[in-house]
Amino acid sequence: QVQLEESGGGLVPAGGSLKLSCEVSVTSGSVTRLDRAAWYRQAPGKQRELVASITRSGSTDYLDFVKGRFTISRRNPTVYLDMNNLRSEDTGVYLCNVDVWTPITGPLNLWGQGTQVTVSS
């Protein structure tokens, strides 16, 4: 079984920083390949939106609103999101989404449980 564990959310003042982590774990001990990974944001009353993504080769893509402030990175089996100069508009639940592959399951697309980020103005 493959699971995601997110951490790093919290309450920060505007202009502050947070670093989110998303660790992929395999309970069966099988070798896992982590392919594309991404962070999404779910803000109250809004649709879920893609904030940042990273491919297995390390190519990244960002929502225009976060370019220059957020950085997605990976050190398998963990994916990170460094968030700097946070704004109140960044508030929301941040969810990790990954494509993984194991010898037992084949390809899987998984979602984390989400971690709350609240930026006070």
Question: Strand, helix or coil at 65?
Answer: helix
What is the pLDDT, as a whole number, of residue 5? 92
Alpha-carbon gap, residue 74 to 72, rounded angstroms = 7
Choose among 21, 11, 5, 10: nearest CA to 75: 21
Cβ pair 28, 104 in contact under 8 A: yes
What is the pLDDT, as a whole number, of residue 120? 96
Quick one: pLDDT band at residue 38, thresholds 50, 70, 90?
very high
Q: Is the pLDDT of residue 99 over 90?
A: yes
Alpha-carbon gap, residue 65 to 43, rounded angstroms = 14
Quick one: pLDDT band at residue 28, thresholds 50, 70, 90?
low
Residues 5-24 have a mean pLDDT of 96
Please list, in sequence order, all residues whose beta carbon lies within 8 angstroms of the beta carbon of residue 35, skipping any fewer than 6 positions away: 55, 56, 98, 99, 100, 101, 107
